[in-house]
Amino acid sequence: KAGVTQTPRYLIKTRGQQVTLSCSPISGHRSVSWYQQTPGQGLQFLFEYFSETQRNKGNFPGRFSGRQFSNSRSEMNVSTLELGDSALYLCASREQGANTGELFFGEGSRLTVL
């Protein structure tokens, strides 16, 4: 089975722009979560989607949004980018019914905001 795939792997944006990141979960996984990783704040939970519905949301401003499609692929969007949004954005998926928190992570999308 292929792992969690995230695109793009690297991108550079300027302040005020918006960005969309994509995540394809492991085949058969219907839950997708997003995490932001920065040197200062560490790994922080953004949101979780299951069957196209947002189930959990972390403590991030409304500029951060996401969605999930019927094929379980997910996208996250950050609007009006700020310098502090520079981070590694990690997507993770888990098996349906595996309500044990075990997540499988992708390699991340590294966003640099100039």
Partner 1 sequence: AQSVTQPDIHITVSEGASLELRCNYSYGATPYLFWYVQSPGQGLQLLLKYFSGDTLVQGIKGFEAEFKRSQSSFNLRKPSVHWSDAAEYFCAVGAQGGGGNKLTFGTGTQLKVEL
Which residues, in sequence order, are CB contacts of 107 under 8 Å at separation 6+?
Answer: 6, 9
CA 108 to chain centroid, in Å, comes to 8
Instruction: Name which position in 19, 34, 48, 66 contacts partner 1 (CB under 8 A).
Output: 48
Q: Which of 11, 65, 79, 104 binds partner 1 (CB under 8 A)?
A: 104
Pick between residue 81 and residue 91 the one whose CB is nearest to partner 1. 91
Q: Which is nearer to partner 1, 78 or 93 (CB)?
A: 93
d(CA 44, CA 15): 22
Pairing status of strand 109-113 against strand 10-13: parallel
To the nearest whole angstrom, how small is the minimum distance from the Cβ of residue 55 to partner 1? Answer: 7
Q: Which C-beta is closer to partner 1: that of 22 or that of 79?
A: 22
